[in-house]
Structure 1
Amino acid sequence: MRFKLPIDDFSRHTAYTDKYGLQSDLGYTGPLSFSHLDYARCLQEPEQAFDVAVIGMPFDTTTSYRPGARFGPTGIRVGSRRQHGERAWTLSWGLDPYKLGAKIMDCGDIPLNAYDNAIAIDQMEAAYESLLAHPVAKGAEAAAKDVTTALSKDGQAHPRVLTLGGDHTIVLPILRALNKVYGPVSVIHFDAHLDTWAPAPNAPSAQSRITHGSFFYIAHEEGLMRNASIHGGIRCKMSGEADITNDEDVGFKVVSTDDIDDIGIQEVIRRMRAHIGDNPVYLSLDIDTIDPGMAPATGTPEAGGWTTREVKRIIRGLAGMNIVGADIVEVAPAYDHADITSIAAADIAHDFLSAMMASEPPKSRDERRPWASEL
């Protein structure tokens, strides 16, 4: 027999919110947005104001080996679930990127055509251009001091975008959109591979020239990059020295994986900053920069990569540069174990947000708060 409370007992029954408070999300519950950020379909809400947008580009049909990065945006968001805008201060940075006056919002994913790459690439460019045209959320005085105001062609502040890929080809439509606002930009490119290879001379169509290994070459052809860009983490097999000559013609200098052992992290950072200078700079990170022992879920893994900690340390050293946007690409969750790649990617995304917000690299912990010896 089903038990029923008397009517009087219902009237005295305490509501959940009275007894336990608001229905807050736990780390493993609630709608899936990056780090539990506010979510909006920004592409259909042009008046939505924000200072930084997180957008997903679920695209993986120009890969040369293992597909699956179309699930990257969802995977990275899953990896971010223990991150939260209310608990984002870290010892490494000494700051909370969400409490520095900028509105950061998850704008969802672009609904890309999965059958026609030409359409999908145009959709990505149009979406990114739309996000750059949104109003910034910060006030007029803060907007006037924003780095994007000084760098943009129109002298106006523009939102910055953190993109979750997707295979690396997504950077071509991003650079096309950025070019309309800033002109040619420099790129700091973290990757095991150059991605500057010339398309095959016998390519059967114009669209087939664009792959996740040739997109920088195409961007160079279109004049989207300054002749001052740099790679970090390169270790792939090549056809020979001619690949490096071509890479330099496209506008890049190389910091290899081994260089971190030979010259150290501080010199890696110094070379990156010195080579870019005050140029507007776009940060692009292929998760295969990290050794596959720590980040196996990627399309073209290469042994002998940097550690997650080393990559995070280098990103901290880039804070204060004229960063106009960033991405994390080539996360393919189907090849993951216990979400370790997605978690690493989400943590690096947090670092990119911190780098955008910080005016300079964070000082070491010992400089900020010297160790007090009790002897």
Structure 2
Amino acid sequence: MRVIALSILVAFLLLGCGDKKPSKQLTANPAAGKKIAEQSCVGCHGLDGKGATDDIPNLAAQLQEYLVAAIQAYKEGKREHAALKDMANKLSEADALNVATYYANLPPLKGEQKPMQDIAEKGKAAAAVCASCHGEGGNSTTPGIPNLAGQQPVYFISAVKAYMDGAREMSSKEKQGMLAALNQVDVEAMALYFASQTPGKRAAPALGNVAAGEPLSANCGGCHGANGNSSDPKVPTLASQDPQYLVGAINAYQERSRKQEDMHTFLSNISTEGIANIAAYYSVQQAEPAEAKTISMKELAEKCDHCHGPGMDNPMMIFPKIRGQNKGYLVKALRAYRDNKRGSSPMHKMSLPYSEAVIESIAARYASQPPH
């Protein structure tokens, strides 16, 4: 949660953090704006301001200042869209104000408000398919099956991808089918769910020698952290892990069936006995959850509402209304900022961790709310 909350707050400032409102005062003419809309905008946005598809934004009742700023952004190339850039370049400053005023004066659309699933709920639901092997909450009690509870989320995502891509071998066609049914959002939501679960404590295993394994773990600690508790989202936690699984994983690196050059180097001279001792040592170390608690989109959205909520108006900045906006458009806009395809301030250029799951859930939350 430590990085996510800040990044999501930053990400939603992006949905329309603009420059100061223009100082030059023009008189808006909504009737003239309607004529421009009939000529140039109706095909995508309609005369009622409704996006023709889910990934085209609704313009009805949007802030006038935001629409003017968006047109200017297309003119300046801060937003990438060839057709809109050409269209924007044909509009004078007065034209832009007029068409923006026309759409801003329209009543909010009364579309169907679809129910949304919080990312925590989505992750828990997706993770249910894993419970038969990996245990409730990702705490495995089956020898040779890894713990998922408390695991670093980016590592989890990369490991699942390795199985999907065939870089890691799966033990059964049933597991292949389970993974094939998951999309990127499911995998990321699962990663966040498992990262917040508390790993159970393990008794000393029958294999290996815990005391002898500690000095052998010195090189491992450089990446995997003190006592096997990784602080790097890309590097797996080894603490509380199933010892037989660890032995199998180390053997796979030694045999190079798992590809990671540093691991090949560090493990090349470790004996069979040494491997068992390292596995025994890490299995009894107490792991901590990678994330302090399950992520709540409600909590993150409350931060976004400081700028995008009803009644919020900062005279120095321009923040669009996003409640009731098309979900597909919100997803597309967030991806564009994340991928630096929309011009923005340096804060907006911060990338989102666990991007697809977080973007999807936040977009769904705002799309499900009534417009204002």
Q: Please, what TM-score do these two structures have when normalized by structure 2?
A: 0.22
Q: Please, what TM-score do these two structures have when normalized by structure 1?
A: 0.22
Larger RCO: 1 or 2 (CA < 8 Å, sep 6+): 2
Q: Which has the higher helix share?
A: 2
Q: Which has the higher strand share?
A: 1
